[in-house]
Structure 1
Amino acid sequence: MTAEIERAAHAYCPVCTPDPGRGDLVTALCGATHPFWGRRERPVNNCPACEALAAGTVYPCGHTGSER
């Protein structure tokens, strides 16, 4: 895992990752897997791959952002 991945704020599927706990391994929309340390409302920098995938109507996992 690179420092860039650790610092970037990733987007997650709300169906695949409904309520992760701190330290749980999670996989972001871009495929990066790392421990979850909380959701940040206004991150310093966002993962550009996650932003592009979150803008689509269907996530790579097949779910949509409106499912829950």
Structure 2
Amino acid sequence: MKIVVVLFLAFIVFSLFQGMYYLAKDGGERDKTRVVRALTWRIGLSLVLFALLLLGYATGLLQPTGLR
């Protein structure tokens, strides 16, 4: 389960940088669909990751650890 969380985080960061790249590359063009699509993927992946974390906690697959 922890590997899945790390993979989701990696894809979220990749999508964020992809959106930043498209924003810089497409600069002054009116059509920003690639930027919007990349950021939409990031938001969707973030929501799925949050749901997976809640599900993992509810089922006991992920245990919270306190900072000592």
Same fold? TM cut 0.5: no
TM-score, length-normalised on structure 1?
0.24
- Structure with max Cα Rg: 2
Q: Which has the higher helix share?
A: 2
Q: Which has the higher strand share?
A: 1
TM-score, length-normalised on structure 2?
0.24
